[in-house]
A and B are shown apart, each in its own frame.
Chain A
Amino acid sequence: MMHMKIYVERPLWDSFQFFNTIRSFFKFDVEFEEYKFKDPHFLAYIRIRSPDKREFYDPFPIEIENERRGLIKGVIYDGVELLKHFCFNIDVSNPAVLITERLIATFGEDGRYHLRMIVMGPAAIISLKGVLYAPAKPLQYYLMHSFGFDDEIEVRVDKVLKMLLLQFYAYFKYNEIFCEKEECMLHNCHTTEEIKKVTGLCEKHRKMLKNVVNLSPLSSKKK
């Protein structure tokens, strides 16, 4: 019987608000478990140091100590390396996902790192901060930030979480990588405007996934 295991990294576990949202979204069982990476040296090692170089360095002692103490604000990790490390520690015979507050990025064919909401492989890692930071925003947002002012980021985290989890499920179960239709939940959104255009599943993916998800919660207006 198919089920999904979702790990939520400490300390996000204590404030995570989407247990019920996710449970009611899938028609199969979803099990949650708190997760903690055990190797601070490795985490410090796979930090991204330069946007255009995929190079890893022996960490300074203070970086390892900061990992131990959870002082990781502003730190970005190589998503592929983090995922490989995660996969070693879990059972990947069923879909398994780690939800974390860490920022993750992957090195693209253009020779640069790009922040990601999700990195997929035998398992997946979803970055909650990535959901806020990774999709490109309207120009106004960056103008405000260039002058040091915060502007509200309009992202429906619950909606994006459902999209990402479903994208991983479709990849895991059917080897289906994204959908070209911009209204479909499997569409690979790169901007907040694209996320707004997603309304549900396209016809092809509705047929594929109708037995595994309840689509009604997606229409919720709650932010």
Chain B
Amino acid sequence: MSEKILAKVGEKDVTSAIIDGFYGMLKEYTNSDVIIVGAGPSGLMAARELAKAEKKVLVIERNNYLGGGFWIGGFLMNKVTVRAPAQQLLEELGVPYEMYTEGLYVADGPHACSKLISAVCDAGAKFLNMTSFDDVVIRDGRVAGIVVNWTPVQALPRQITCVDPIALESKLVIDATGHDAFVAKKLEERGLIKTRGHGSMWVEESEDAVINHTGEVYQGLIVTGMAVSTVFGLPRMGPTFGGMLLSGKKAAEIALEKLKELE
């Protein structure tokens, strides 16, 4: 009789482990310091910095996979480029990279993206993937959380998906939802801010502009990454990621300042 390799456990134990693990986490994170909507490079970078600073961070991602467009560079080619000084962040994350020309660095997308995700997990942030942003929670004139639902709910006919969403509270929300700027747009629907929509004119300095404009656009809401482009109407960018990483880092720095003010 052959010896078993894996321990014997019952099916109900496996199910219980998943339920207890997930719902324990969900209950704990009904209230966080910061909720980050979107797990692309800017959202992940912000999550890593905030979690490293021992803040309670929850990242919401509508897809099953994390990383957004950071797996792939341009034209489905899985090399990602960053411009100086963003290679220092690759260095920090332990991502191997090469200098292509002065100031331009190239790394393997899968390596860079998986290292960044891993760094966020190591820092202690938690994820809700397959979870879609639905609405904002506004309290006393500031963003105080978000409303979410399972992503599949949105994809099914309404007649069979009358599933109410749930609300999660936080001191701050970071919109890292890319060009869609879903969170900022929701504030616009309520007449609280006016976004400009990202422009299609390309200028070399558009990454700088994204970093410079990363910040709080409404009490409690910080925008980062390509969402910055949409909110401020900045020119579009080329397929380089340094601006995204640095914007995420700046969003975290601003969030830390705001959290200090709220204490």
Question: Are B208 and A150 neighbours in the complex by a CB distance under 8 Å?
Answer: no
Question: Contact string, A130-154, partner B, CB cutoff 8 A, digits 1/0?
Answer: 0001000000000001111110000
Complex Cα distance, B235 from A115, in Å, reads 12
Question: Are B201 and A145 neighbours in the complex by a CB distance under 8 Å?
Answer: no
Question: Are A74 and B101 neighbours in the complex by a CB distance under 8 Å?
Answer: no
- Central interface residue in A63, A76, A103, by most chain B CB within 10 Å: A76
- A50: chain B residues at CB < 8 Å are 196-197, 199, 233
Question: Are B239 and A147 neighbours in the complex by a CB distance under 8 Å?
Answer: yes
Stretch at the interface among B49-57, B142-150, B209-217: B209-217
Question: Are A148 and B232 neighbours in the complex by a CB distance under 8 Å?
Answer: no
How far in angstroms is the closest Cβ of chain A from B206?
4
Closest residue on chain B to residue A113 by CB atoms: B201
Question: Are B207 and A49 neighbours in the complex by a CB distance under 8 Å?
Answer: no
How far in angstroms is the closest Cβ of chain B from A43?
14
Question: Are B240 and A148 neighbours in the complex by a CB distance under 8 Å?
Answer: yes
Q: Would you call B15 an interface residue if the criterion is a C-beta within 8 Å of the partner chain's C-beta atoms?
A: no
Closest residue on chain B to residue A153 by CB atoms: B204
- B210: chain A residues at CB < 8 Å are 74
Complex Cα distance, B100 from A194, in Å, reads 32
Closest residue on chain A to residue B243 by CB atoms: A74
Task: Please report the total number of A residues contacting B with Cβ < 8 Å.
Answer: 28
- A62: chain B residues at CB < 8 Å are 213, 215-217
Within B211-241, the residues touching A (CB, 8 Å) are 212-213, 215-217, 231-235, 238-240
- A113: chain B residues at CB < 8 Å are 201
Complex Cα distance, B233 from A63, in Å, reads 11
Q: Would you call A66 an interface residue if the criterion is a C-beta within 8 Å of the partner chain's C-beta atoms?
A: yes
User: Pick the contact of B73 from A72, A75, A105, A148 — CB < 8 Å?
Assistant: A148
Question: Are A73 and B212 neighbours in the complex by a CB distance under 8 Å?
Answer: yes
Question: Are A51 and B201 neighbours in the complex by a CB distance under 8 Å?
Answer: yes
Q: Would you call A174 an interface residue if the criterion is a C-beta within 8 Å of the partner chain's C-beta atoms?
A: no
Task: Please report the total number of B residues contacting A with Cβ < 8 Å.
Answer: 36
Complex Cα distance, B203 from A72, in Å, reads 12
- Central interface residue in A62, A71, A103, A105, by most chain B CB within 10 Å: A62
Within B159-207, the residues touching A (CB, 8 Å) are 193-194, 196-197, 199-207
Complex Cα distance, B128 from A105, in Å, reads 43
Complex Cα distance, B233 from A71, in Å, reads 15
Question: Are A71 and B212 neighbours in the complex by a CB distance under 8 Å?
Answer: yes
Within A38-77, the residues touching B (CB, 8 Å) are 47-51, 57-58, 60, 62-63, 66, 71-76
User: Pick the contact of B217 from A57, A60, A103 — CB < 8 Å?
Assistant: A60
How far in angstroms is the closest Cβ of chain A from B198?
8
- B81: chain A residues at CB < 8 Å are 148
- B215: chain A residues at CB < 8 Å are 62
Complex Cα distance, B194 from A150, in Å, reads 34
Question: Are A149 and B205 neighbours in the complex by a CB distance under 8 Å?
Answer: no
- B201: chain A residues at CB < 8 Å are 48, 51, 76, 105, 113, 115
Q: Would you call B96 an interface residue if the criterion is a C-beta within 8 Å of the partner chain's C-beta atoms?
A: no
Question: Are B212 and A66 neighbours in the complex by a CB distance under 8 Å?
Answer: yes
Closest residue on chain B to residue A65 by CB atoms: B215
Complex Cα distance, B209 from A47, in Å, reads 12
Q: Would you call B94 an interface residue if the criterion is a C-beta within 8 Å of the partner chain's C-beta atoms?
A: no
Q: Would you call B74 an interface residue if the criterion is a C-beta within 8 Å of the partner chain's C-beta atoms?
A: yes
Closest residue on chain B to residue A44 by CB atoms: B232
- B205: chain A residues at CB < 8 Å are 73-74
User: Pick the contact of B209 from A48, A74, A133 — CB < 8 Å?
Assistant: A74
- B256: chain A residues at CB < 8 Å are none
Within B34-83, the residues touching A (CB, 8 Å) are 73-75, 81
How far in angstroms is the closest Cβ of chain A from B179?
13
- Central interface residue in A49, A63, A103, A149, by most chain B CB within 10 Å: A49
Q: Would you call B104 an interface residue if the criterion is a C-beta within 8 Å of the partner chain's C-beta atoms?
A: yes
- B208: chain A residues at CB < 8 Å are 73-74
How far in angstroms is the closest Cβ of chain B from A170?
29
8 example contacts (A-B, Cβ-Cβ < 8 A) are as follows A47-B233, A49-B197, A60-B193, A66-B213, A74-B210, A76-B235, A146-B239, A149-B104
Given A66-B213, A149-B104, 4 other A-B residues pairs in contact with their CB atoms under 8 A: A47-B233, A48-B233, A51-B199, A146-B74
Residues on B facing A (Cβ under 8 Å):
73-75, 81, 100-101, 104, 193-194, 196-197, 199-210, 212-213, 215-217, 231-235, 238-240
Q: Which 8 A-B pairs have the closest CB atoms?
A: A74-B209, A49-B233, A49-B196, A73-B208, A73-B205, A74-B205, A71-B212, A62-B215
